[in-house]
Chain A
């Protein structure tokens, strides 16, 4: 089994399927300040993953958001083997991830 498959074995099946197909998964997480919402997104790029966390003022969710409208962004570029640790760093577990719409992921 490849490194990626080893890692994905610990993910919910629909999430693993999306990542295997190089599709985004995301989760909503607690924000640092009131009046904001925060998200973590996992973006596969080739054999690597960009894991991003950002916050958005609640009222700004009413826009078609572009990256320049996000706040407090952090992003790490990791291998499959580092993915779970990166998620942990942002305070989430693999089972919290979902398809972007179901997480309300805005970008």
Chain B
């Protein structure tokens, strides 16, 4: 069941006629509900009872948010397109407590205008709707509406990326070949469940000109007021390697995770000050990082181990590990797969790995250079 834009618009108009006096909540009785439904059906002849009721429920919810009553939870949990709500459920919205705050403010007006333009409530927008919604609103040549949609889009994008990140980890945790190679089953799941959703976000990025990465960056980092000797040595070592140039894979060592946090705070603050903040991609499986936001100017922690091979050896999850390869593994490959580290991708394909000691209690591989 779809709600045509004209029906939703009629519902918005009908709901706008509700009395707004007083600050307290108001309850719609059955007579008022029937009257609203009749208004919608009069404005758009042929509208079924169910469609009219559903449109009214959404219009009421949108009005409630526009008036500042807050619709955070609704926005966060509702992702169904308007037409896919279970019939009857939506109409229960007419018995909701409607918090009338007395007069829509400017923000509320813009939100209502945006919803009129879209022909649907912003709460019903899905990530895959964002690109076309942006195109539609941009055609109206009204910067206030574009700004309002941008504001709405941030929440939708962040929620979608959080969901994709969790899903990518789930898929990334599927069994792999002993050398870390993704299996066919893993690739199929990724292509079916992740790729179309990433595509939708990229469509929005390309249509709107807004950067997904910029929508995801959080508050600026806080550099540590005090810094340990181990962290200081690591920062100095990385700075020296950066000045020397020539290598894309820089390494440093610290004694503890806290030391590594201090190193991260130092470089994240610097990146932020230079206008290209580091994005925390720790919640994403590596393939999603590359697909969605790119590795440049990001950081993540690689510190989760999994057993691979026979006899089993604990190596970092998802990392390339092929000791039987002709010619053997390089020292860098060996360390990368076996030692927990902070990875900072500082831009221009420059990777910095800050290695921490390998925890005790793991199934260790033979030392590098031995019979791996």
Q: Give the Cβ gap from B355 to chain A, nearest Cβ, in Å.
A: 15
A64 within 8 Å of B by Cβ? yes
The one of A17, A63, A100, A106 in contact with B209, judged by C-beta atoms closer than 8 angstroms, is A17
> Given A43-B296, A64-B320, are A107 and B187 neighbors across the interface (CB < 8 Å)?
no
B134 within 8 Å of A by Cβ? no
Q: Give the Cβ gap from A10 to chain B, nearest Cβ, in Å.
A: 18
Residue interface bits A45-76, CB-to-B below 8 A is 1, else 0? 11000101000000000111111110000010
The one of A22, A64, A102, A105 in contact with B180, judged by C-beta atoms closer than 8 angstroms, is A64
Q: How large is the interface on B (under 10, 10 to 19, 20 to 34, 35 or more residues)?
A: 35 or more
Of B63-71, B120-128, B233-241, B329-337, the one touching chain A: B329-337
CB <8 Å contact, B318 and A64: yes
How many residue pairs at the A-B interface have CB separations less than 8 Å?
Answer: 83
Distance between Cα atoms of A41 and B349 in the complex (Å): 10
CB <8 Å contact, A64 and B319: yes
A14 within 8 Å of B by Cβ? yes
B54 within 8 Å of A by Cβ? no
Report B-chain residues with C-beta under 8 Å of the C-beta of A67.
Answer: 248-249, 349, 351
Report B-chain residues with C-beta under 8 Å of the C-beta of A107.
Answer: 290, 295, 349
B276 within 8 Å of A by Cβ? yes
CB <8 Å contact, A68 and B290: no
A:1-55 near B, CB below 8 Å: 13-14, 17-18, 21-24, 41, 43-46, 50, 52
Distance between Cα atoms of A30 and B253 in the complex (Å): 40
> Given A66-B336, A100-B294, are A43 and B348 neighbors across the interface (CB < 8 Å)?
yes
CB <8 Å contact, B318 and A50: no
* Interface of B toward A, CB cutoff 8 Å: 179-182, 187, 195, 198-199, 202, 205-206, 209, 211, 213-214, 248-249, 274, 276, 286-287, 290-292, 294-297, 318-320, 330, 332-333, 336, 347-349, 351
CB <8 Å contact, B211 and A23: yes
Distance between Cα atoms of A45 and B214 in the complex (Å): 17
A101 within 8 Å of B by Cβ? yes
CB <8 Å contact, A101 and B297: no
Q: Give the Cβ gap from B168 to chain A, nearest Cβ, in Å.
A: 12
A79 within 8 Å of B by Cβ? no
> Given A44-B347, A64-B287, are A23 and B213 neighbors across the interface (CB < 8 Å)?
yes
CB <8 Å contact, A43 and B347: yes
Report A-chain residues with C-beta under 8 Å of the C-beta of B287.
Answer: 64
Report A-chain residues with C-beta under 8 Å of the C-beta of B248.
Answer: 67
Report B-chain residues with C-beta under 8 Å of the C-beta of A46.
Answer: 274
Report B-chain residues with C-beta under 8 Å of the C-beta of A101.
Answer: 195, 198-199, 202, 290-292
CB <8 Å contact, B347 and A102: no
Distance between Cα atoms of A23 and B60 in the complex (Å): 41
Distance between Cα atoms of A41 and B348 in the complex (Å): 10
Report B-chain residues with C-beta under 8 Å of the C-beta of A64.
Answer: 180, 182, 286-287, 318-320
* Cβ-closest chain A residue relative to B332: A68
Report B-chain residues with C-beta under 8 Å of the C-beta of A66.
Answer: 320, 333, 336, 351
* Cβ-closest chain B residue relative to A59: B181
CB <8 Å contact, A99 and B181: no
26 contacts between A and B (CB under 8 A): A13-B209, A14-B205, A17-B206, A17-B209, A21-B211, A21-B214, A23-B211, A23-B294, A23-B296, A43-B296, A44-B347, A50-B349, A62-B181, A62-B182, A63-B180, A64-B180, A64-B286, A64-B318, A66-B336, A67-B349, A67-B351, A75-B349, A99-B202, A100-B290, A101-B198, A101-B202
Q: Given contacts A14-B206, A63-B180, A66-B351, could you give 6 more A-B pairs where the C-beta distance is less than 8 Å? A: A17-B209, A21-B213, A99-B206, A100-B291, A101-B202, A101-B290
Report A-chain residues with C-beta under 8 Å of the C-beta of B187.
Answer: 62
CB <8 Å contact, B330 and A68: yes
* Cβ-closest chain A residue relative to B287: A64
The one of B181, B199, B274, B296 in contact with A24, judged by C-beta atoms closer than 8 angstroms, is B296
* Cβ-closest chain B residue relative to A65: B320
* Cβ-closest chain A residue relative to B297: A22
The one of B209, B274, B290, B320 in contact with A105, judged by C-beta atoms closer than 8 angstroms, is B290
Distance between Cα atoms of A21 and B248 in the complex (Å): 22
Distance between Cα atoms of A5 and B180 in the complex (Å): 43
Distance between Cα atoms of A66 and B198 in the complex (Å): 22
Q: Give the Cβ gap from B91 to chain A, nearest Cβ, in Å.
A: 42
